[in-house]
Amino acid sequence: MRIVIALGGNALLRRGEPMTAENQRDNVRTAAQQIAEVAPGNELVIAHGNGPQVGLLALQGAAYKDVAPYPLDVLGAQTEGMIGYMIEQELGNLLPYEVPFATILTQVKVDANDPAFGNPTKPIGPVYTKEDAERFAKEKGWSIAPDGDKYRRVVASPRPRHIFEIRPIKWLIEHGTIVICAGGGGIPTMYDKDRKLVGVEAVIDKDLCSSLLAQELHADLLIIATDVDAAYVDWGKPTRRSIARAHPDELERLGFAAGSMGPKVQAAIEFARETGKDAVIGALPDIVAIIDGRAGTRVSVGEPGIHYHT
């Protein structure tokens, strides 16, 4: 079975944890232990988030005053290498030496006419006072937005349109390689007016990119691993219920918050609709149980209605 596993950035660096390399490696090790159990007999492709990691690099860069901040496409490439290295090493410590791994720096095409560029909503980097944020907006042309009692830079989050490295990714998995790719939604790129490929100051949603990746690879299953065990209705309320199985149309009608579960649910819906195969949203430590059908929220065109965990 060909499986795409999308590891959430907050699953790799949990909310509230200090952003240390040791904490990140511990979480990667948890993911690797689960993935190693399902590796035999399956073709695996691993995508991952990078929100906390890009934020950390942006904070570190802001402390160095003599050089302009590195652009987001470069920061995205840096995190793909950093996280891919950790995943490769931790999986390599668990699987036989003969199992090959490859981390692919993944450029993802976005459309210059995407309406997201006219409505930046994705917060990145450190928080600022209102005065500093307005100064940076004027000096650097940034868009800014409130974040609690502070302000942050916000950038566009355009839809992913094409994965440039899809051919080498396919070749590698067909030759038995476990591939780590499309980290952080991929490196946002587009063609300029001279048909030259250039990086873009944007952040592609990781889950939507993982869904596109799974579609283009003709995957049999998409797993979206996060820091909660399922998609819930009435989240945060005493009446909350976790969804066990759902048809894409029924799940879409429920509505989920754009800043949290919404993109994951949308990614799962799009994969199920486009391929007729299942997508599952669940917790990172439950990957084995997810594949066995014992955990998570399974989105399937063959599953009428909505069913809840008991």
Q: Report the helix count and the strand count for the chain, using DSSP H and E.
A: 10, 17
> For 207-231, what is each residue's pLDDT tens digit?
999 999 999 999 999 999 988 899 9
CATH 3.40.1160.10 in the chain: give the residue spans: 2-114+157-308
DSSP state letters, 45-93? EEEE--HHHHHHHHHHHHT-TTSPPPPHHHHHHHHHHHHHHHHHHHHHT
Range with the lowest mean pLDDT among 152-156, 192-196, 258-262?
258-262
Q: Are 35 and 254 in contact (CB under 8 A)?
A: no
Mean pLDDT value of segment 267-286: 95
- Share the mean pLDDT of the chain: 90
- The model's pTM is 0.90
Instruction: Classify burial at 192, counting beta carbons within 10 Å of its beta carbon; exposed 0-12, middle 13-18, buried 19 or more.
Output: exposed
- The pLDDT value recorded for residue 300 is 96
- The pLDDT value recorded for residue 276 is 97
- The pLDDT value recorded for residue 249 is 94
- The pLDDT value recorded for residue 186 is 96
Statement: residue 257 has pLDDT above 80: no
Q: Are 131 and 151 in contact (CB under 8 A)?
A: no
Q: How many CB atoms lie within 10 A of CB 138?
A: 9
Q: Topology of domain 2-114+157-308, per CATH?
A: Carbamate kinase (3.40.1160)
Query: In 3-state terms, what secondary structure has residue 302?
Result: coil
Statement: residue 130 has pLDDT above 70: yes
Statement: residue 236 has pLDDT above 80: yes
> For 19-77, what is each residue's pLDDT tens digit?
788 888 888 898 899 899 999 999 999 999 887 777 777 767 767 778 777 888 998 99
Q: Are 309 and 243 in contact (CB under 8 A)?
A: yes
Q: Are 110 and 55 in contact (CB under 8 A)?
A: no
**How far apart are alpha carbons 144 and 158 in whole angstroms?**
17
Statement: residue 247 has pLDDT above 90: yes
Identify which of 31, 106, 45 has the alpha carbon closest to the alpha carbon of residue 76.
106
Provide the annotated active-site residues: 9-10, 122, 206, 264
Question: Which pLDDT band, with edges at 50, 70 and 90, does 10 fall under?
Answer: low
**How far apart are alpha carbons 251 and 306 in whole angstroms?**
7
Statement: residue 259 has pLDDT above 80: no
Q: Are 43 and 59 in contact (CB under 8 A)?
A: no
Statement: residue 110 has pLDDT above 90: yes
- The pLDDT value recorded for residue 19 is 74
Which amino acid does the sequence have at 135?
R
Q: Are 127 and 152 in contact (CB under 8 A)?
A: yes
Q: Which residues pair with 48 in a beta bridge?
A: 7
The position carrying tokens 């830079």 is: 153
For residues 147 and 117, the model is more confident at: 117
- CA torsion sign for 250, 235, 9, 57 is positive
Q: Are 245 and 298 in contact (CB under 8 A)?
A: yes
